[in-house]
Chains A and B, each alone.
Chain A
Amino acid sequence: MVDDEVRALTERALDVARAAGASYADARYLAEDSESIDVENGRVEGVSRGSDAGIGVRVLVDGAWGFAGTALMDAKEIERVAGLAVEIARSSRPLLRAPVVLADEQPVGTFWETPIEEDPFAVSLDEKIDLLLKASAELQSVQGLTIAQSSMDFWRRHSFLATSEGARIEQVITQSGAGIVALAVGDREVQQRSFPNSFRGHFACKGYEHIRSLDLAENAARIAEEAVALHKAPECPSGRTTIILDPNQLCLQVHESVGHPLELDRVLGMEAAYAGTSFVKPDDRGSLRYGSDQITITCDSTLPGALGSYGYDDEGVPSRREVLIENGVFQRFLSSRETAPVIDETRSNGTMRADGWGVIPLIRMPNINLEPGTSSLDEMIGTTDDGIFMSTNISWSIDDKRTNFQFGTEIAWEIKKGKLGRMLRNPNYAGKTVEFWSSCDALGGKDEWKVYGTPNCGKGQPAQVARVAHGTSPGRFRDVQVGVRG
């Protein structure tokens, strides 16, 4: 539990802000512990532990926002920061077109924490390093492999939110992840294979039991062999064809071409100058055909174990599951207490998160999921005469309205007459968001549905990094441009 001193500091911040003229205020304490371990070619390259703590005070004065945060946590500093937040809000007011109105939210006093089986911070460093060294040794056992990387990351985030409306919410969120990477460096190209996923592996709101379940060493030799073999594989052909995407690629497709375009702050232009806007408009609710009937997308911050799960967002709105796209038709945005009323919605759907005490919460994807279908990977391959199966993201890019995209994957296999054939190197595909999702004619079922955590989602100024997740099963898409060349 947060100590009395922290509670007293947040109460003091609210008192000072109200006395200075704030109509609304929240004080958010955040303390995060982290641990990171990196092994390369059998050598421990880095082991670090960190702790970071501070308080951020957000206020509304005459409809204008102000925010100030500090790591210097004593009463005098907190009073100064709360006063500064009000001063900042007053400086915003002359250049405000429409005063901010917050959607109602019933304040609660509660405690929520990630259910974990084994505290990752209590597991010895010896054991963790040993696991990574074993995985590294398995990778290095493959002839032709140049670089063997293995890594682990853990975070424990302890937060306390106090609002002038009466919310008092304490949360402890624990996140764990690990992964291995095999790199084969050639004269012209570098080929890479990652397991269980790229970007440092597979992350979840779980304890060390998650790491034990990954079987890193058991999969190391296979991916190392694939990285080496890729150099001799033919290049992904260019043209239009059927593609089947592994969940470890389809998750990022969901992230970039569904999750981000449905963030209501983007839609309203609030991120325009930096990460961009969206092709989706408020009037599109209930009418925009986003994809085929196969496509149902949910936002679910309650999903047990998923990296983007929490009890309450940083505005005190409880987590929930909502349908964003139903059988291909767009229904709902990701919203906040500020943005929901702008499009005449009465309540935020609870997606506001800040990556630290020193920044304001923004609309961030929690777990954005492509709901499973009724097919299977075997059935999809078996009923594809000519196509490509692509796995594990390595490159991604999308325009500032989230329409024109291009993704690359680490590896692919051709599909001929219903069977997987040769390995293909340098696979990529490109398209337009609605056209692409409309070309989906099959999705794998529940037993092939996997949730992958994405620990590196960037947004906002100052830049913030969010940990989010996406559940998908394998999916098949027809008539897609592949093998784009420079």
Chain B
Amino acid sequence: MTLLGEDRFEEAARIALGDGVDAALVLAFHSAGGLTRFASSQIHQNTWRESVAISVMAVVDGNRVGVASGSSLEPDAVRATLDAAKAIAAVTPANSDFPGLAEPASYPAANLWDDATAETTPAERADGVARAFEEFPSSIDAAGYIETTANEVFIAGSTGLRAYATSTQAGCSVMAIAQNSSGFAESVERKLASLDVPALAERAVKKAELGRDPADVEPGAYTVILEPAATSTLLQFLAFLGFGGKAFLEGRSFMTGKIGEKIMDDKITILDDPVAPDALGLPFDFEGTPSSRVVLIDKGVAKDVVWDRTTAKKAGRESTGHGLPPPNTMGPLPLNLRMEPGDQSLEQLVASTDRGLLVTRFHYSNVVSEKETVLTGMTRDGTFAIEDGKLARGVKNLRFMQNAVEALHHVEGVGDTTETSTELFFGGSRAPAIKVRDFKFSSATTH
């Protein structure tokens, strides 16, 4: 991708921060990337796109706010976007909760860019797929994707605020599909070179082979080893349900009224850290506030939630740099959630389990009760019975029905490495494997 550069965004901003408004905030993106998808051991979808987006938030009369967006930085288009935002602001009732725009700030230094990833060719992505296929025996089919993206984000405020960052990302998932079993592995990093595609393929194939001819298993409460992708599902839903300031203030969050209380096992520490070396975040949020590291759960104790400018104003706090693009009705969210690793390898977690289940990942999980954090979903792509400290056999998939906070209160061990996993249809987080007792499954399925 050829970068547009900060100057090109600045030209657009000069127009968008135009006359006729008290204040304005410009948020602009330029992204390009390719995604190569494979299934039935062949590339079946292979796509690339380059997009530009600009949104303008116009403020009149101090707190009447309108937002308009477009997909061009050309002067006439930017003027039209500004005019649309002004027209909305002019007829929108005053919002007494509007916190005003962020002031200029300095941001944490971060190197988020990799030339090789940004310049990845279709042939290089296809080569990655080919290297995955080399790990597959002829009896097992491969499915998954390799994606490389490059991004520019620019924020300008009439307060003088300016923020600009470039970033890259590379992701790969590999699913191995055998006659009656499957396996899965995934990795998301800043650099394509950091993805070990053959290793992912090898992991997926091993799971499919180990899981052949899965046995029936009775639903019930089990000690489970959740691999990082499955732990990540719990984290993602907790982020959505209660680690944001809006849900906290509305009383909908499991964290409301619990700050300072021990709500999880002392082996559990959860935080959001957008600019950690292995994180995929930005040094600022979409309001232009510097990103900060926020400890949410510290050794099992509820410590804090994340804040944007609106919720921070209501709570008498400072924004932690977790604001989403305006207009934002969801409130702030931790988009770079992570659970701190523990001191046991995955093998040690399994070896310490007399009888239990190992879950590779969950599928199509959803909320059953938001404040109680009860979730349901299915296991998939590698569910195994553990007997006498060893993986005994593959088992058919199960539906879990479990209070997520309670599960993290029942933790008996935490893995010593973390991985980034994505959730179906939204987000991703970095997590270790965890061992949980009394994890509840309500039904089984036929495969």
The answer to whether A and B interact is yes
Interface of A toward B, CB cutoff 8 Å = 36, 38, 40, 43-54, 56, 64-72, 81, 84-85, 87-92, 94-98, 124-126, 129, 133, 146-147, 183, 185-186, 188-190, 268-276, 279, 358-360, 395-401, 403-404, 406, 408, 426, 428, 430, 432, 458, 461-463, 481, 484-486
Q: How far is the CA of A274 from the CA of B186 in the complex (A)?
A: 11
Q: Quick check: B69 and A48 within 8 Å, CB to CB?
A: yes
B447 surroundings in chain A (CB, below 8 A):
399, 401, 403
Q: Quick check: A97 and B368 within 8 Å, CB to CB?
A: no
Q: How far is the CA of A125 from the CA of B446 in the complex (A)?
A: 52
Which residue of A has the minimal Cβ distance to B328?
A46
Q: Quick check: A273 and B144 within 8 Å, CB to CB?
A: yes
Q: How many residues of B contact A (CB 8 A)?
A: 95
Among B69, B376, B440, B444, contact of A406 (Cβ-Cβ < 8 Å): B376
Among B52, B68, B326, B371, contact of A72 (Cβ-Cβ < 8 Å): B52
Q: Quick check: B88 and A48 within 8 Å, CB to CB?
A: yes
Question: Which residues of chain B (164-191) have a CB below 8 Å from chain A?
Answer: 173-175, 177, 184
Q: Quick check: A47 and B88 within 8 Å, CB to CB?
A: yes
Q: How far is the CA of A67 from the CA of B43 in the complex (A)?
A: 13
Q: Quick check: B126 and A461 within 8 Å, CB to CB?
A: no
Q: Knowing that A51-B69, A397-B399 are A-B contacts, what are 11 other residue pairs whose CB atoms are under 8 Å apart, sorted by A's residue number?
A: A48-B69, A91-B121, A95-B43, A190-B371, A270-B39, A270-B45, A271-B39, A274-B424, A481-B443, A486-B374, A486-B402
Question: B265 at interface (Cβ–Cβ under 8 A)?
Answer: no
Q: How far is the CA of A85 from the CA of B46 in the complex (A)?
A: 9
Q: Quick check: B364 and A398 within 8 Å, CB to CB?
A: yes
Q: Quick check: A403 and B446 within 8 Å, CB to CB?
A: yes
Q: Quick check: A48 and B43 within 8 Å, CB to CB?
A: no
Listed from nearest, the 10 A-B pairs whose CB atoms lie closest are A46-B327, A358-B49, A91-B122, A404-B445, A273-B175, A273-B143, A486-B401, A50-B69, A48-B67, A92-B43
Q: Quick check: B399 and A430 within 8 Å, CB to CB?
A: yes
Q: A188-B372, A404-B399 are in contact. Are A397 and B366 (CB under 8 A)?
A: yes
Show 6 A/B contacts (Cβ-Cβ < 8 Å), sorted by A. Answer: A50-B68, A97-B40, A188-B372, A273-B184, A397-B365, A404-B446
Q: Quick check: B446 and A69 within 8 Å, CB to CB?
A: no
Interface of B toward A, CB cutoff 8 Å = 34-53, 55, 65-72, 81, 84-85, 87-88, 91-93, 95-97, 121-123, 125-126, 129-130, 133, 141, 143-145, 147, 173-175, 177, 184, 250-252, 326-329, 363-372, 374, 376-378, 380-381, 397, 399, 401-403, 424-425, 440, 442-447
Q: How far is the CA of A432 from the CA of B443 in the complex (A)?
A: 10
Q: Quick check: A47 and B50 within 8 Å, CB to CB?
A: no
Q: How far is the CA of A72 from the CA of B53 in the complex (A)?
A: 11
Q: How far is the CA of A408 from the CA of B92 in the complex (A)?
A: 36
Q: Quick check: B377 and A397 within 8 Å, CB to CB?
A: yes
Q: A38-B329, A65-B45, A94-B130 are in contact. Are A273 and B368 (CB under 8 A)?
A: no
Which residue of A has the minimal Cβ distance to B174?
A273
Q: Quick check: A399 and B48 within 8 Å, CB to CB?
A: no
Q: Quick check: A486 and B88 within 8 Å, CB to CB?
A: no
Nearest CB on B from A11, distance (A): 21
Nearest CB on A from B36, distance (A): 8
Nearest CB on A from B375, distance (A): 8
A406 surroundings in chain B (CB, below 8 A):
376, 399, 401, 442-443
Q: How far is the CA of A138 from the CA of B56 in the complex (A)?
A: 32
Q: Quick check: A64 and B43 within 8 Å, CB to CB?
A: yes
Q: Quick check: B49 and A269 within 8 Å, CB to CB?
A: no
Which residue of B has the minimal Cβ distance to A360?
B47
Which residue of A has the minimal Cβ distance to B175?
A273
Nearest CB on A from B407, distance (A): 10
Q: Quick check: A395 and B367 within 8 Å, CB to CB?
A: yes
Q: How far is the CA of A486 from the CA of B438 in the complex (A)?
A: 11
Q: Quick check: B376 and A88 within 8 Å, CB to CB?
A: no
Q: Quick check: A486 and B403 within 8 Å, CB to CB?
A: yes
Among A46, A67, A403, contact of B48 (Cβ-Cβ < 8 Å): A67
Q: How far is the CA of A432 from the CA of B65 in the complex (A)?
A: 49
Q: Quick check: B67 and A47 within 8 Å, CB to CB?
A: yes
Nearest CB on B from A141, distance (A): 19
Which residue of A has the minimal Cβ distance to B444?
A404
B328 surroundings in chain A (CB, below 8 A):
46
Q: How far is the CA of A52 from the CA of B68 in the complex (A)?
A: 11
Which residue of A has the minimal Cβ distance to B398?
A404
A48 surroundings in chain B (CB, below 8 A):
55, 66-69, 88, 326-327
Nearest CB on A from B82, distance (A): 12
Q: Quick check: B401 and A484 within 8 Å, CB to CB?
A: yes
Nearest CB on B from A411, distance (A): 14
A401 surroundings in chain B (CB, below 8 A):
445-447
Question: By CB atoms of chain B within 10 A, which of A89, A94, A186 has the most?
Answer: A94
Q: Quick check: B445 and A403 within 8 Å, CB to CB?
A: yes
Q: How far is the CA of A40 from the CA of B370 in the complex (A)?
A: 19
Question: By CB atoms of chain A within 10 A, which of B42, B81, B144, B364 has the most?
Answer: B364
Q: How far is the CA of A395 from the CA of B250 in the complex (A)?
A: 21
Q: How far is the CA of A404 from the CA of B446 in the complex (A)?
A: 8
Nearest CB on B from A314, distance (A): 14
Q: Quick check: A397 and B378 within 8 Å, CB to CB?
A: yes
Nearest CB on B from A107, distance (A): 24
Q: Quick check: B145 and A92 within 8 Å, CB to CB?
A: no
